[in-house]
Structure 1
Amino acid sequence: MTKKNDQIDDNQFEQLSAEDQQALLEKYDIESNTRNVNGIMKKVIYVGLLLFSLFQLYTVVFGLFPAQIQRTVHLGFGLTFIFLLFPAIRKTKKDTIPFYDYILALLSIVVGSYWLINYERLVQSLGRLETMDFYIGLLATILVLEAARRAVGLPITIIASLFLLYAYFGPYMPDFMAHRGQSVDNIVNLMFYSTDGILGTPLSVSATFIFVFLLFGAFLVKTGVGQYFNDLAVAIAGKLIGGPAKVAIFSSALQGTISGSSVANVVTSGAYTIPMMKKLGYKKEFAGAVEAAASTGGQLMPPIMGAAAFLMVEFIGRGITYWDIAKAAAIPALLYFTGIWIMTHFEAKRLGLRGLSDEELPNRKEVLMKIYLLIPIMLIIVLMLVGIPVMHSALYGILACILVGMFNKETRLGFADILDALVDGAKTALGVVAATACAGIIVGVVVKTGLGLSLANSLVKLAGGSILLTLFFVMIASLILGMGAPTTANYVITSTIAAPAIIALLAPDVPQSAVPIVVLLSAHFFVFYFGIIADITPPVALAAFAASGISGGDPIKTGVDSAKLAIAAFIIPYMIVFSPALLMIDVTIIQIIWVVFTAIMGMIAIGAGVIGFWYRKLMIVERLVVIAAGLAMIYPESFSDAIGLIVFFAMWALQIYTKNKGNVPKVIVS
């Protein structure tokens, strides 16, 4: 922004200080609650994290090591620095490292190097473990559980521990869950000496795709693109009705491309947008809710989505690429943010809120002159589109960030900045390492015991074979898991346990290898969506709670408002299942246009009904009618679309005709 507008930002809109932002992150985002040590250990940790990033970049450039070595070294780096940086108790002193964490860090190094040192022997042993192998595998499992507790949270540790107990006590389980049981030796072998447990697919994705994209995000931040997103959003949307809320939506959608955390997204962009919304008349809770809902959708926004999207590539298989996932996510993401945009628009009209004045806007010419900051993101899109491997695309994106950063006078990158970005990226990856390793425990047990198939069959039976009831039960399970587990772990659990139930109903009696890709994507996107929006679903709505920390509003009310604003997110997964044209697979352009058109019309109707305002205040009966019309248009049937559109345009005509009549409530003007 210009100097003039920097002054407006600081004074008129009362932005949060960097210290306040960090305090909010530490309170609501466990991955940000790290130690701040000084002296020699600060330098040791800095160099260690730098080596972590350099190791990962080396494998991107020169090729991956054998799976067990690649993943254990990645795991060893992650565990070591989790124990050095994350305190055992959150509220303990953060300027010193207790002796027991040094011991745990050293044990983590042993675990991380064990496969590297003993690779030939372990490969040739064919699963026969020596005594030392057993104890190292047991130690690795315990360290992963404790690291996940510190860096991710207690819920995922409890869930993984319960799965381990289930693997051992299988014969004593209820009939529909019973299995023959596994010995401790077999469990340890599965967890650390196979590629189905801790060293399984989730950690593999972390050690390859996710890490390099986290590095890309760290380099984007160094180029100043985060602030540029805010400036660009204000320049484009600031003057519109209720401009600050639309700025929040636009900015958060862009911020989501560099942040996989809903809470981090809230704090980063919310510190800028929430004070702006409050200043121009939005209630505290609504201002926080707009930011929370928009920030949570960042993980749904292509081209760079949350870590779970990379896992989806591996879990679905069948030649699916990350670009296929990003392309399929494009229309649902558009509908998600369109829904929030529509509802904030109607709320702004209801309250008579203005947009920003010319004096409050940044200099548009200056903003547009910095459009080159988006080159790295555009480059990644083009590279993936032409078939360049994902990791190489991210690597070229990092190089583009360095080149672009050299031309930005305000944040010109030097050698020290490049090193800092490498360290920041590695530090950001620590929580992902813990989450994916712990999720591997769950996947390993599910695969070994056949629990996924048992629970899927039970879920279908409970729903009486009804696809709608099955989807409802899966939605509830995903939301509950999402309240206690990060998106990555949530997706791993639901995709292995709940998604098969959806697939079984959409493609009955079809072998897994023959299930249509569109069916697989529909099922996986369903659980993916609900795992993400758990961040704004009360009572545990961390993104909404973080937003309330900025707005000063009531956390629960903010959560309720954010869930209401994001009502599209509760509808879109059902639309994906019943109308897979949204995923742009095996459909014509005409079909896509029609589905998107009716969906947007449906969003407008539902938004007006939920807010209670269209061109004028809506009466209760009118609200119910337009919501019903909206749902009819969203449901993918020609007959329901026709009925919905007829009712929609009839209500629209009624609104136009009566908006200035004396017999209807008039707009409340602030």
Structure 2
Amino acid sequence: MGAAAFLMVEYVGISYVEVIKAALLPALISYIALIYIVHLEACKAGMTGLPRRHNPTLVQSLLSFTGTILGLCIISAVVYYGIGWTKDVFGDAATPIVGVALLLSYIGLLRISAKYANEGGIEIDAELNEVPDPGPTIKSGLHFLLPIVVLVWCLTVERFSPGLSAFWATVFMIFILITQRPLIALMAKTSNVAEELKAGFVDLAESLVSGARNMIGIGVATAAAGTVVGVVTLTGIGLVMTDFVEFISGGNIILMLLFTAVISLILGMGLPTTANYIVVSTLMAPVIVTLGAAHGLIIPLIAVHLFVFYFGILADDTPPVGLAAFAAAAIAKSDPIRTGIQASPTIFVPRFCRLCLSLTLSC
């Protein structure tokens, strides 16, 4: 969910950890189902990937997938339980202590990366013609996990706001982006340090330009979403929406959820994830809460927000808008509408499983 999860913290009034708990298991089931369906579609179409240096067995593939998921969980657990105690012991001095530890860890991980670069491993600008071995790839890029450590520390230990936590993680990522090239060149003794330092600043400039371009659409959409929210607040259209759904559903809870899902799907058309959540949570979440309470059904607010958000985000995958379908069609050089129609069953099945489990666990 990314940025939408941070907004959900503000809208629902719960902690970020509680949002993770509510969405984690449904999301895992959704992704497992999605990967399985995509695999079946790829097998049916005879699609193959890049050639591999070594063909892993099924057990190795499962272990690799499981290790990736567990790795992120372990990082979060290590940060919170492993070094979180330093905040209680050292107080305000814990932050600079952890900062020094991060810096030393960064230098140590760069030495590992430089070792693989010196031995002919994967370089930063290397062009891939085959799937590289996961071991050297992971070991040469372990230092990119440190911004995640900073983010988790700020969120769970320092209890910073999501925006401030993301800011410090971004600052550390910028530091890595600038310094990784010259430090690796210095350790591996493969190129000129000054040239690599210049290349690091070039990477930073290109990243800032790319980020600014990507934020233009999000900024405009978010501003438009703010206008919608203002209209809803000032005109009372939210009450009309509630009456409309109640009228066409006839008081039936299942029909109410169905019509709410369809309206959320329509409202989410053409909006990026963040603006999508703002719109559907403002317009449709109060509908479910109000009508559910009117019929004696108390639905947790987090379940309601996850419900409308799941269906609102489907607008990115389904025609006629389907921005994700257009992007996929551009890569596959296919028709966007047919791509969206083809993807619809693939998206609906795992998301429906995730939706049902989310509502069950939340209630």
Structure 2 length as normaliser, TM-score? 0.64
Q: Measure the CA separation in 1 of the matches of 2:164 and 2:233.
A: 31
**What secondary structure is seen at the aligned counterpart in 2 of 1:507?**
helix
Q: What residue in structure 1 maps to residue 163 of structure 2?
A: 391
Identity of matched residues, %: 38
Greater C-alpha radius of gyration: 1
Map of 2:8 onto structure 1: 312
Unpaired runs of 5+ residues, structure 1, are: 1-299, 586-670
SS of the residue aligned with 1:565?
helix
The Cα offsets for residues 620-650 of structure 1, whole Å up to 9 and x where unpaired, read as xxxxxxxxxxxxxxxxxxxxxxxxxxxxxxx
Q: Secondary structure in 2 aligned to 1:407?
A: helix
Q: Give 1:528's aligned residue.
A: 309
Report the equivalent of 1:361: 131
Residue 427 (structure 1) shift: 4.2
CA 396–470 in structure 1, closer or farther in 2 if over 3 Å, else same: same
Distance 1:480 1:509, change over 3 A: closer
1:263-662 correspondence runs (5 A): 300=1, 305=2, 307-316=3-12, 318=13, 320-348=14-42, 356-358=51-53, 360-369=130-139, 370-386=141-157, 387-405=159-177, 406-408=179-181, 409=184, 414-415=200-201, 417-418=203-204, 420-508=206-294, 519-572=300-353, 574-576=355-357, 578-579=359-360, 581=361
The verdict on how the C-alpha distance between 1:509 and 1:419 changes in structure 2, with shifts beyond 3 A counting, is same
Contact 1:491–1:531 (CA under 8 A) maintained in structure 2 = yes
1:466-504 alpha-carbon deviations (Å, 9 max, x no partner): 221111111111222222444444333322222112112
**Matched residues in 2 for 1:367 and 1:465: separation?**
56
Q: Deviations over 1:140-169 (max 9, x none)?
A: xxxxxxxxxxxxxxxxxxxxxxxxxxxxxx
C-alpha distance after superposition, 1:322-350 (max 9, x if no partner): 44334433223222211111113334555
| Partner Cα distance (1:546, 1:334) in 2 | 24
Is the 8 Å Cα contact of residues 526 and 573 (structure 1) preserved in structure 2?
no
| Structure holding more helix per residue | 2
Letter in 2 for 1:546: A
Q: Number of aligned residue pairs: give it.
A: 271
Is 2:34–2:347's contact at 8 Å kept on the other side of the alignment? yes
Counterparts in 2 of 1:351 and 1:432: CA distance versus 1, 3 Å? closer
- RMSD after superposition: 3.1
Tell me if the contact between 1:480 and 1:534 (Cα under 8 Å) persists in the aligned partners: yes
What secondary structure is seen at the aligned counterpart in 2 of 1:553?
coil
Distance 2:208 2:39 in 1: 41
Cα deviation, 1:189-226, whole Å, max 9, x if unaligned, reads xxxxxxxxxxxxxxxxxxxxxxxxxxxxxxxxxxxxxx
What's the offset of the Cα at 1:361? 2.5
Corresponding letter in the other structure for 1:324: E
Letter in 2 for 1:309: A
TM-score normalized by the length of structure 1: 0.37
Give CA-to-partner distance per residue, 1:215-263, whole Å, 9 cap, x none.
xxxxxxxxxxxxxxxxxxxxxxxxxxxxxxxxxxxxxxxxxxxxxxxxx
- For residues 203 and 38 of structure 2, the distance between their equivalents in structure 1, rounded to whole angstroms, comes to 39
Tell me if structure 2 keeps the 8 A contact 1:478–1:490. Answer: no
Aligned-pair CA distance for 1:395: 2.3
1:245-290 per-residue CA deviation (whole Å, 9 max, x = no partner) reads xxxxxxxxxxxxxxxxxxxxxxxxxxxxxxxxxxxxxxxxxxxxxx
Q: Distance in 2 between matches of 1:352 and 1:435?
A: 39
1:371/1:550 CA distance change after superposition, 3 Å: same
Equivalent-residue separation in structure 2 for 1:352 and 1:429 (angstroms):
37
Deviation of residue 390 (structure 1)? Answer: 1.8
Q: Deviation digits for residues 543-594 of structure 1, max 9, x if unmatched?
A: 1122222212232221122112112354146415641x1x5x8xxxxxxxxx
The aligned runs of 1:150-161 (5 Å cut-off) are none
Q: Distance in 1 between matches of 2:254 and 2:289?
A: 13
